[in-house]
Structure formats: structure tokens, C-alpha cells
Structure 1
Amino acid sequence: MFSDVNFLLQSMAWPLVLLLAWFVGERLHEAASVPRVSSYVAVGLVASLFDLPGLTNAVPGLPFLANVALSLILFELGYRINLRWFRHNPWVLALGLVESVVTFMAVYLATGWFDLPTETRLIIAALSVSASPAGIVRVANELRSAGQVTERVMHLCAINCLVSVLVLNLVVGYWHLSTSGDLVMAAFGSIHVLGTSVAVGALLGVAGPWLLRSQRIQERDVTLVFALAVVLLTTMAYGLKLSPLLAALTFGIVARERRVHLTNAQRGFGTAGDLLTVFLFVYIAALLDWTDVWGGMLLGLALIIVRTASKVACSLAAARLSGITERKGLLTGLALTPMSAFAILLLEQSRLYGFDPARQVLAVMAGMMLVQELFGPLVTQRSLMAAHETHVTKEG
């Protein structure tokens, strides 16, 4: 009898928590304009605190589902990237690369104030380069934001994510080299993951538009085709031990270059995308251990200050060169504050693929992740509002 009750509680945990997260997100968004994703994170953190049965324990398939959710968002981010813009305004590309390097070096040096191993410092610095596509894209969609700051934030977020994946794979290769001593296998592993992930995403980005053009698919069905393609891409990446996040971002960029038209009504992949977003933010919040959160809060706050300062300083320095005012440069740097969802899933993938230090790094960064998860989307929202690029009123 007791086992039946326990099984029932485990089965009901996720649906109940997701329903509660959605309800809280809608109420707080309507009452106080709180970004929905911040509310989802808050509910996930509370659920983790109470250690609900079946929620915080390892459940087969949940990491895959979370990667599908984030891959859909990364595809959407990639689709919003205009490579021609980099040719017309190379300062944006230069800013993204320089800012990534500056952030990496600043965070790496800052972690030297704490008693951390070198490999842990390198991983934290690599993850800190990234911005959270999930937080930024969903907030921008909520606000129907469009303009100079919004587009720069999207492009810089994509650059940050690409550089973060690249550097993290190099660190993983360095770790394998230090543990096994096999330089060839370590180098091959890193190059294989990066190159093959990009190649698979690009191949699907070419094949997808060809399929759409060869068939008489109505506009409303394009969303379904691309959603299924992202699921296929994530499955392939898991099977081949690649990076589904890098592959999905590449898929979106190439699909954009192949001139596939997506309407505004399809942004966010509709109701299925909304459901997966609720799950994603509750899931990543439930992964955090509260003991690690309190123990790493001082480190987390220090790293947040250093990371934010480096991004804001670089955006301010390059503002006039890239064609915007210093005020918009400041808002662009602040809007890149979120980072948690992308970073946590990168660590989870690395752990699943045999990178042992990943679990330790997540524990060290728990305090930083909690603050970034809760307040990062709010900073992005206020930055886009201050830039006067939002198109949402209280009426609709």
C-alpha cells in the first residue's frame, strides 16, 4: 500500500509542479510584470527545497527533454541571426568575440581569489562567457521587443554561446589529456564534438528548407516540421555524443540563410514551446542543491559582479564604434545578464559524456546560478523596456 502511494506521488509531482509554475507565472506577470521564466524558476527552487518525491530524484529521460526544450529556443535564436549584418557592421562581431575573451579572463582571474582547482576555474570562466538564450529569447518574445538593442543582444548571445561551447570543449580536452596523457584522443574528442555538431546542424539546415520547398506544406505546418527536426537533431546528438545545443543553434542560422520564412505567430513554437519552457526552467532550478547554494553564495555574487562588469564595459567601449549611443551600449551589456539554463545543461551534457568535474562545478556555481536564474530575466526585461523597444501594452 505504501509503495502504491509513493508511486502515485512520484507520478503526480511533475504535472502538479508544472501547473503551479504556470499559474504563478501568469499571476505575477499580470500583477507585477515579472518575467514568467523567473516565476517558473522560483517554483522549481521551492519544489527542490521541499524535496518532492519524483522531482529532484534522477528520472530517466528528463535531461533529454530539457535539451529538446532548450534546442527549440536555440533554433529560434539562430534563426534571428543575420550573418550579413556582421559583414555590414563587423564591430558587432568584434565586440562579441572581444567581450567573450575579456569575460573569460576576468572571471578566471576572479576565481583565483578563492581556493579552487585550475580546471574548476577554467570551466567556470568558460560557462560565464555564455548568456542564456532561454531567458533572453523568452523575455524578448513576451515583450514583442524589436530594435537596435534587441538585435544586438540576440547576436551577442549567439556569439557568447558559440564561444562558451568552444572553450568548454577545449577545457574538457585538456582534462582528458591531463588524466589519460593521450594528446591525440583529447584533441580528436574536442574537434570531433565541435565539428560534427556544426556539420549535423548545417546539414539539417540545408535539408529542411529543401523538404519544405519540395512539398506543398502550409504555413501553419512549418512549425511542426522544424520542431520535429529539432527533436531529430537532439536525438542524433545524444546518440553520437555531440552537442545538441550547438547543433540546434547552427541549424537555425543555416535555415535563416536558406530563406525559410517563419511568421510571428510561429515564434516560440506555440503551445508546445510554452509547455517545454515551463518544464525547462523548473527542471534546471530543481537541479540546484540548497546546501551548495548557501555555501557558494559569496563566490556567486563576486562572479556575477565581475561577469556583468566585463560585459557592460565592453559594450560601452564599443558603442560608438558599432553605431549606437553609450546608453544603448549600457543596456545591451545589462540585457546579457542571464546565463543559467544554457550553462547548467552544458554541464549536465559534459557529465553524461564522462566529464567527472562537471558535478563539482555545478555545486561550486550553485549560488551564482540561483541569483542569475531568478533575477537575470528581470534585468533583461527592464533593459529592453528602458531601450523603448517593447511593443506590449497592458491591453495586449
Structure 2
Amino acid sequence: MSADIRPGVACLSGRRVVDVLDALDVYTVLLDDPTPLELACRVDVPLDIDLSDWAVVESAVSRIHAGRPLEGVFSVYDAHVPLAAYLAARIGVRGLDLSAALACHDKARLRMTLAAGGVRTPDSLAVADPADARASARRLGLPVVVRKSAGRGQLLCRDPGEVKRASELLGPGALLVEKFTDGPEYAVQSFTVDGVTEIVSVLAQHTGPGPGRAETGYDHPSGLDPVQESEVKAFCVRALAVLNFDHGVSHVQVRLTDDGPVLVDVAARPPGGQLCAATERISGIDLTRAAAEIALGRPVTRRPPTASHVLYRCVGFDRPGRIDYDVRGLGSPGVWLDVEPGDSVRSVDDPEGGSCGRIVVYGDDPAELESAYHSLFHSLRLRVEPDIQ
């Protein structure tokens, strides 16, 4: 029997990643807790392992690497990015620099690292005890945004009572209280190889009116003039360099103020929802595939873009209740809903509310996109009825 000469890679979790690695025809080690059976059947080495025990995971991956060398270790999930970087460093293979991975995971560390490198971020204070959030807000001056330091969750607060409620809702873990930065927001996608970053797309990002600042949509082109867009791109490239972001893909959120760009967040992964697909349509680059190719040391695959404009809208509601809609509307390309008829939904301005789906249309004519979006939206016949207890 001939030896398996396929390059090998270890990936921490990911259904979409397994699809990509199948297409790349590589030797795949998949670590998860647990590994879904349908994915375990499609990889070379499935590992059901406690991903919170880094020593145990390192020992298992080291044994595999000793017997069947790997090219790299990566993950496209926020929670697992630090462990993937740690494993890559420990076994001496390609992966995101550990300091960059830890900074992207911990927003307080992220802001300290960037500030030390001269990159503008919102003024902020780390809060170990949520009970101290109000004092931090008074020191910074209202309004403020209270965030989980690690993980998702943020609330805009305009008075001390809202700060108290936010800290109770987002706690008990460490929080970050930051001065609210006003201005239009942009989502910037990129990939980095050997410390050299290429910006893939810049999209205008829209947020809802509530304290949760839920994402309500994206547009491409971004609406920035060429000088402004070049400034935003250069700002993101510099920020990633300061973080020592050397191998991987990123999703960066930036606000543009009167004094220039301010960095809001960096995620060391492809964008979520349908943004990864949207980025591929307008750039020709699949960032999930790019993450795998970078870990393998391969050139990033580039295909011709298939659209110049994207209109991406999240589905949200202005009041809570039980949702109903015409399920035939789900048969249309470009429509995704995360709720079933009869499910309870929260309003978009509820602190725990947010997107319940997405409608995304592509093309080259903005007027045609608007028309296509409204047609798809009306085909769903969305309605929210009072939730009678």
C-alpha cells in the first residue's frame, strides 16, 4: 500500500471547514467536544476531546503530529482560536501567532495592545467585578458601551441605571466599559500570510436602534470615497501588524469619526452569517477556504467576482411576539430564517434581541437590488402576533 502523501492539518471544530478540507483533499484531524458523527465519518482522525483542557489536547495532537506530521493548526470559531494558536506554537507548525490570538479573544487585551502600538480604539476600562461597571462609566463619561471581555455581548448605556442592568445581564465574567464612539461603521475582511495583509472587502455596516446595537445589514460598495476607503484599509493593515497577526483571516469592525478611524473589534476568523458568502461573491475569495489554505501553506485561491454590489439585510422586528410567515418564501434564493412559524421573537431594540434571519441580494445595478430585496421580503409575509401567556 502506498504511503499517504497528502498534507495534513488539524482543525478545531467546523462543519463548513470539513466541506472545504474535503475539496482540498488533505489529511484532516478534527477536534471537537463532541465530534458530530456525520463529520467524524468524513475526516481522517476525529477526536472527541475536552477542548477546555489544553494540556490534554496538546498531548493528543503532539502524538498525532509525531506519527503523521501536520502542516498547521487553525480554527474559524472565536472560542477555539487561542487553543489553535497555542497548539501550532507548541508543535512548531503554521498557525496564528499566540499573542494575536489571545488579543483577539480578550477585548481588554486587544485594546491595550493596539493603544500601545498607536492604533486608536475607544477609551475603555477593564472591569473584573461587574459591580464596578458604574464607577468606570462615571469615570469615562456617558454614554458607554458595556461588553463582555471575552465572548459576544454588548449593550449601549446612556445612564447609570442602564449600566447596572447591562453589567447584571452580561456578567458575572470580566467586562469592558468603553466610551461610546459615534460614526458610521464598516466591516473589513482580510487575510494575512507571513505578516503581509491583503484587504478583501470593505462593507458599510448598519446597526439597530436598541442598546444591543444589533447588526441590521451591510452594503457593498461601502459608500466611502476612494480616499476614505484607502484610509480605512491602511488603518486595518496597521492594526493587524501591531497585533502581530501573521497567519490567518480576519473580520475587523471600524468606526469612522471626524478624527479618523477607530477600531472597535478584531475577530480572527471569517465573518459570520452570510457575510463570508457575500465577500466571496464580490471578491472571488472564500475566506473559510483561505483560512485552511493559509494553515496548509498554500496560495489563497482566487476566482473572478460574480457581483459588484451586495444588499444584505437582517430580519428583525419592532415588537415582540410570535412570528408567522409564508414558508413558500423560503424557497427563494437569498432568504434565510432562523425561526419557525410560532416561535417567540424579541424586538430588535430588546437588549437580548437581534437578527432572526437574512435576505441577501447581489447584482450590478443598485436599483435592481432594492427591487429584488423588497420582492423577497414581501414574499415572506412576515407578521408578529402578540405572545399571549
Q: Which has more helix, going by share of residues?
A: 1
**Which range, TM-score by smaller chain?**
under 0.3
| TM-score (structure 1 length as normaliser) | 0.27
The structure that has the greater radius of gyration is: 2
Normalised to the residue count of structure 2, the TM-score between the two structures is: 0.27
| More strand as a share of residues | 2
